[in-house]
Amino acid sequence: MTLSNIYKLLDQVLETGEPLEIERKGQTLKIVPPTSPHKLDRLPSNRGYLGCDPEEIVHLDWTGDWNP
């Protein structure tokens, strides 16, 4: 294993937040990121999903449609 492969594995741990276990000389080493990223942080961006600016939705006036 080359040094560049080790760095790729370390980058993978940082990107995914998932620990990595490596066996070396009969012992298991566990590489764990300092904090795990939240699952939602790994979701791909869907900026075009709404078809409008999210701020427009936040400031909609629903008082005319509200029936308590």
Residues 58, 52: contact at Cβ < 8 Å? no
DSSP H or E stretch at residue 24: strand 20-24
Strand partners, 20: 31
Tell me the pLDDT tens digit for each residue of 13-61: 988 888 999 898 999 999 998 876 677 777 787 766 777 777 888 888 8
pLDDT: is 68 or 31 the higher one? Answer: 31
Which amino acid would we find at residue 8?
K
- pTM of the model as a whole: 0.47
Q: What is the pLDDT of residue 47?
A: 66
54: its two tokens? 């999210």
